[in-house]
Amino acid sequence: MNKNASGPPRLELIGLSRSFGAMRAVDAVSLAVWPGEICAVLGENGAGKSTLMNLLYGVLTADDGAMVWNGREVMVSDPRAAQALGIGMVFQHFSVLETMTVEDNIALALPGLDPKALQQRFSTICDRYRLALDLDAPVRDLSVGERQRLEIVRCLMQPKIELLILDEPTSVLTPTEVEQLFGLLREVAADGCSVLFISHKLPEVFALCSRALVLRRGAVSGDVPLEGADQDLLLSLMMDRGATAPAMSVTDSPKKRQHRSRQRLRVQNLSADCALAPGLDAVSFDACEGDIIGIAGVAGSGQDGLMAALSGEQLSAPESIQWDGSNLGSQGIRERRTMGWRSLPINRLGHAACPALNMPSNFLLTHMQNERFVRRGWIHWRSIWEATAMLVKAADVRMTSPVASANQLSGGTLQKFIVARELMDRPELLCCYNPSWGVDPGARTAIHDALRSAAAAGSIVIVISEDLDELIELCTRVGALYQGRLSRLQPLGPASVETLGRWMTGQETESAA
């Protein structure tokens, strides 16, 4: 039922752009999607996939560029306008209300539809695609797969549906549910509706889609027909290979020194449960002084659990984390801090720093055990103010006012402050999670320099990051998390970016052979 032979494309984007501050999240993207086509949108984290889809669906508006729908230029100002055109979207985080029934959830999304017409259209759609869904069931009783089915049915029930966008739809599904979803999507496409399938799981993309649009740093890096294409080609389009070559020279020297230095950290069979994300499954690695260990992985592969376990915010079995031969796993974050361990959580505002408190208070947050600042429960604000002022000056933290609170600082400025705060009295170990996420290039360089010089002075630095460029620039050895398991750690070589990419998608055995 492919109708693309004649007529205009269903959707065409011409030079679509959107910036957040200095960062161009979507950079002059041009593409076309044909009626009845299932097209994959691929890219690493932060490549701009979600921003692009939010532009299509009217959640965000574009700064520049045009969108052509069925041959006519359109402006999509909000999701209602997108729905009126015939665009439906299934978000990664479901937008259904748990306390209401399936019927109420549909009625809420499709106002102006009387109950009788709603029930009729619902049963038509369910019959057409052989979907089992109970209209009266409360959503809280539905499984994750059923909730997703509800979202899709809701889109299909729109007065008009010609383009269905799914944002990482398989990340929460079991393999059987994935098969069912793919069957449904193929039928929907056969009826002439175009499908945009956002994912970073290559096998699924090959199984479902006929074409892949690859995004890198907000721009289209490839538009590849999938028949006959191989995974390595897509991986290389997703990842920035330009960064590999210069990274070698940076990683050269610490790698040599590593042979002389002594091993201090040993992580052994570290496992942890996590409420929502996957936990950790027998993670083991060790590190010597001066090491910068990089941990890659797509979001939600166990990074949160690893960060919590290493920082000491979550306790683990005593012998699972060893420091200079003594067991540290059951010691809390305060005890570890007195051993010289420091951490940089992923959330600056609200975790690493208190949003409404000023910088001296935020300085005190991780220096409460220092006798210089707190003696017998009494705070010495004067020394804290002095220390903060020195820190601010040394780390070039630009604040509008000395009494500014943390939420008045830009992300990069705050992160520079936090990095300087943690590195102040040369830590023995620093564990950071996405240390330069969302900061401007200047701050990024400053943060990387600070981490590098800490390692040069003998600290162990562990960088958990979803930014491969960052890991390549910084680290002496890199591994990847996949579903809570950590791959081997290996020094980076020219060929290793692809290897790393495979590890991130759980294909370690293949490359280990």
Partner 1 sequence: MRLERRSASSLGWQLLSPLIAVTLAMLTASALFAALGHAPLQVLELLFIAPVSDAYGLSELALKMTPLLLCATGLALCFRAGVWNIGAEGQYLAGCLVGGSVALALNSPDGPTVWYLCSAVVAGAAGGAVWAAAVALLRTRFHCSEVLTSIMLNYVALYLLLWAVGGPLKDPAGYSFPESALLEEAMLLPPLVQGYRAHVGFAASLLALAVLWTVVSRTLLGFKISVVGDSQAAARHAGFSEHRVVWTVLLSCGALAGLAGVMTVTGPVGQLTPHLSSGYGFTAIIVVFLGRFHPLGLLLAAALLALSFIGGENLQIELGLPKSIALMFQGLLLFFLLATELLTHYRLVPRE
- Taking the least distance from each CB to partner 1, the nearer of 118 and 333 is 333
Out of 74, 110, 374, 399, the residue judged to bind partner 1 by CB under 8 A: 374
Out of 227, 377, 509, 513, the residue judged to bind partner 1 by CB under 8 A: 377
Are the CB atoms for 265 and 292 separated by under 8 Å? no
Residues 295-334 that bind partner 1 (CB under 8 A): 311-313, 332-334
Residue with tokens 């193929």: 186
Are the CB atoms for 498 and 477 separated by under 8 Å? no
Question: What binding mask, one character per residue, do residues 386-405 give for partner 1 by CB under 8 A, x or -?
Answer: ------------------xx
Residues 6+ apart with CB under 8 A from 384: 360, 363, 364, 367, 373
> Is 243 one of the binding residues for partner 1 (CB under 8 A)?
no
Sign of CA dihedral 345, 350, 352, 355: positive
Using CA atoms, how far apart are residues 83 and 485, in angstroms rounded to an integer? 41
Using CA atoms, how far apart are residues 18 and 63, in angstroms rounded to an integer? 5
> Alpha helix (H) ranges present in 369-479?
381-394, 411-423, 441-456, 468-474
- Taking the least distance from each CB to partner 1, the nearer of 356 and 390 is 356
Residue with tokens 């721009």: 219
Using CA atoms, how far apart are residues 418 and 362, in angstroms rounded to an integer? 9
Describe the chain by its helix, strand, coil percentages, rounded to 5: 40, 25, 40
Q: How far, in Å, are 304, 310, 351 from residue 447 at the CA level?
A: 21, 20, 18
Using CA atoms, how far apart are residues 185 and 164, in angstroms rounded to an integer? 9
Paired with 295 in beta bridges are 464, 479
- Taking the least distance from each CB to partner 1, the nearer of 382 and 393 is 382
Out of 46, 294, 345, 484, the residue judged to bind partner 1 by CB under 8 A: 345
Range in contact with partner 1 (rule: CB under 8 A) among 16-24, 208-216, 362-370, 487-495: 362-370
> Is 347 one of the binding residues for partner 1 (CB under 8 A)?
yes
> Is 357 one of the binding residues for partner 1 (CB under 8 A)?
yes
Range in contact with partner 1 (rule: CB under 8 A) among 94-102, 276-284, 360-368, 465-473: 360-368
- Taking the least distance from each CB to partner 1, the nearer of 286 and 313 is 313
> Is 408 one of the binding residues for partner 1 (CB under 8 A)?
yes
Are the CB atoms for 131 and 153 separated by under 8 Å? yes
For the beta carbon of residue 493, count every other beta carbon within 10 angstroms.
Answer: 11
Least distance from partner 1 to the Cβ atom of residue 350, Å: 5
- Taking the least distance from each CB to partner 1, the nearer of 114 and 425 is 425
Least distance from partner 1 to the Cβ atom of residue 311, Å: 8
Least distance from partner 1 to the Cβ atom of residue 90, Å: 30
- Taking the least distance from each CB to partner 1, the nearer of 176 and 401 is 401
Out of 361, 490, 496, 511, the residue judged to bind partner 1 by CB under 8 A: 361
Total residues binding partner 1 (CB under 8 A) = 31
Out of 62, 307, 352, 463, the residue judged to bind partner 1 by CB under 8 A: 352
Least distance from partner 1 to the Cβ atom of residue 245, Å: 38
Q: Which residues bind partner 1 (CB under 8 A)?
A: 311-313, 332-334, 337, 343, 345, 347, 350-357, 361, 364-366, 368, 374, 377-379, 381, 404-405, 408
